[in-house]
Each structure stands twice: as structure tokens, then as C-alpha cells.
Amino acid sequence: MKIFQCPQCSHPVYFENTLCLKCGSSLGFLGSRQEMILIDGNSYAADPNYRYCSNYYQNACNWMVRKDDPIELCQACNLNRTIPDLSIPEHVGKWQKLEVAKHRLVYSLLKLNVDLNAANNSRVPGLAFDFLSHHSGNQHKKVMTGYLNGLITINLDEADNVHREYIREKFSEPYRTLIGHFRHETGHYFWEKIIRENDQKLSQFRWLFGDDTQDYNQALQAYYNRKAGFQWQHQYISEYASSHPLEDWAETWAHYLHVMDTLETAFYFGMVLQPKLDDNASMSMSSDFDPYTEKDFKRIIDAWLPMTYAVNSINRSMGLQDLYPFVISEQVLNKLKFVHESLFEFRL
């Protein structure tokens, strides 16, 4: 993600900030320009045409809406179909965490310039979100995080760090985050939009990822019954990706978005790596390009690999787990390249 600045004093501010910590100005994010604007009435630079999205008053959004827009929600919040019952106190904090992740996702999708609405003549409806808790009133119902027909459902419990870490350990996942869920589930949405609607893409997809028509429940059952020791690393970015070709695509897609967002951050920080090695050719990189505008996937991946080694080394210095607990095999590289090129053709 890019580095934002306070328009009043130029101090750097985070994407989620509503206030500049240096000069005290009130700030909001403007999706259409992808920058922070001032909303202080007394500042010469403040834009009088905008107000906060109504979810700002729930501490769940800092995006701006035009004052003359009849819709009170910003373009990110307007994708919500269901939000949790906020009269239950523990729902509020969890929902706010989901919104942080979702807003970062929507930022990437804006950068990618992809249409989130239903297209004419398409079987795929527009993108929407249900954030559900299995506690609603006295009733208990099972909520599964997943995707169906444009609708992404996220189980509110995923925003509970203890719960998420428990699941992560239980299923031996090296990486499980809220933003990872959002990226994964949108992968299913864009598969329908980019791949399923295009015969040529679909056959390329099947050649690389496998047959998407294979029975979903059977494939997942086989995956959960599989004995430990299955060698998935060669072909897949994660073990879960090996469960079904559509899960493989969604995992690869999510991974692609991780790479893009992180490299964009590196670009805005002007990161350069010149490691002190006898031969550093393959481990050097310079973030001198915005990955969102880069057509050549090789350039992206050539910058990415040295960076992952550097950030993992930094984390290890802090006694933390690897920031990037993945290995990209040749096969996975081809899949990521396919995601990049398919998406590039699809972008507006």
C-alpha cells in the first residue's frame, strides 16, 4: 500500500487514520483519488464537498462520501449486505477488525481497476459481504466463511485472535490472517468473472490447475482424510490449495494480492536491497516500479524473492515467525503468472 500524507502538514499517516498525529487535522480517505483529504472546516485545504461514510460513527470506516450522494456509505461499506448485530458488545470490536481488512482489500481492488458490479450478460452478480456471527439472539447457527454467487460470508469469529490462532495451529497453517480470508474469497469471485466466462482462459486454467468440475464435497473430504506427509509443496502455494482446483486458484490469487500490496509498500518506501554477499546478483532488488502498473510478471517476481529473504531475516532478528512462510516452486510461479496475465487483460 502507498504511504499517505496529511494534506495540511505532510506528516505521513496510516491508511486507517482519522487524525493527523502531528497537526491534529481530521482526515478521511477518498477512494476515487486514493488519497487522504482534510475535513476540518477551518482549514483552507479542507474539501467542503465531502463527509464521512456513516460507518465512521461506529469507528469502522474513515472513507469519504460526497455530500450530495444520497447513499450514506462509502464504496467499501456499500458492499456490505449484512453486518453483525451491534447491540451485542463483543460483536462491535470484531466487526471493526473485519472492516480494517476489508477496506485494505477494496483499496487493492481499486488499484487493480476491476469492476465490482454485475456486468451485463454475466452470470456473476456484483460483489457483496455478509459478516455473520453464530450467536444471534438465543439461536446458534453454524457460520462458514466462504463464497457463493458474488456473496462472501465471513464468520465473525475469525476476528477473534485466539480463535484464529487456534485454528491456524490445529490445521498446521503457517499463515492465517483476516486479510488473507478476504483475498482468498474474492479469488472465487474473480475466477467466475475472469476465467469461467472465457473459454480460452478456462482451458488454460484447467491445464494449469486441474478440472474445476470435480465434485467439491468429495475433494474436500479426501483432503481432510489425507494422511500426513503428502508432498504438496511442489505444486501448490499452500496445503489447502491441494484440496480442489478452485481452492488452488483462490489460494494463488490471495497470494498474488499479498505480493502486489507488499511490493507497492516497498515501492513507496523506495526499498533497495544490495546484500553483502560474495555474489549478490540474484538477491538484489530495487523497488523502482509500482507493481500495479507493471505488465511484466518477471519484474515483479524478481523483486519479490530477494525481499522475502530480507523480511524473514528481519523477523528472525526479532524472534518472530517468518513474515513470509512460503516457498514458491516453479509450478506455483506459473500459476501466479497466469493470475497476473489473466487479470491484466481483464482490468478496465
Residues that bind Zn ion (CB under 5 A): 6, 8-9, 11, 20, 22-23, 25, 53, 55, 61, 63, 74, 77, 247, 250
Q: Of 63 and 182, which has the nearer Cβ to Zn ion?
A: 63
Compute the least distance from the CB of residue 108 to Zn ion, in Å.
16
Q: Of 216 and 277, which has the nearer Cβ to Zn ion?
A: 216
Burial of 330 (0-12, 13-18, 19+ CB in 10 A): exposed
Compute the least distance from the CB of residue 82 to Zn ion, in Å.
15
108, 187, 256, 284 from 1: Cα distances, Å: 8, 19, 14, 22
| Percentages of the chain per state (helix, strand, coil), in multiples of 5 | 45, 15, 40
| Residues forming beta bridges with residue 12, ordered by sequence position | 5
Cell numbers for 83: 453486518
Q: Of 101 and 250, which has the nearer Cβ to Zn ion?
A: 250
Q: Of 80 and 133, which has the nearer Cβ to Zn ion?
A: 80
Compute the least distance from the CB of residue 23 to Zn ion, in Å.
3
Compute the least distance from the CB of residue 332 to Zn ion, in Å.
17
Non-local CB neighbours of 316 within 8 Å, separated by 6+ positions: 322
CA–CA separation, 54 vs 60, rounded Å?
A: 9
Q: Are 87 and 94 a contacting pair, CB within 8 Å?
A: no
Q: Say if strands 35-38 and 139-140 run parallel, antiparallel, or are unpaired.
A: unpaired
CA angle, residues 286, 288, 289, in degrees to nearest 5: 125
CB atoms within 10 A of CB 237: 26
Q: Of 216 and 282, which has the nearer Cβ to Zn ion?
A: 216
Q: Of 266 and 343, which has the nearer Cβ to Zn ion?
A: 343
Compute the least distance from the CB of residue 39 to Zn ion, in Å.
12
Compute the least distance from the CB of residue 307 to Zn ion, in Å.
27
Compute the least distance from the CB of residue 283 to Zn ion, in Å.
34
Q: Of 28 and 306, which has the nearer Cβ to Zn ion?
A: 28
CA–CA separation, 228 vs 240, rounded Å?
A: 13
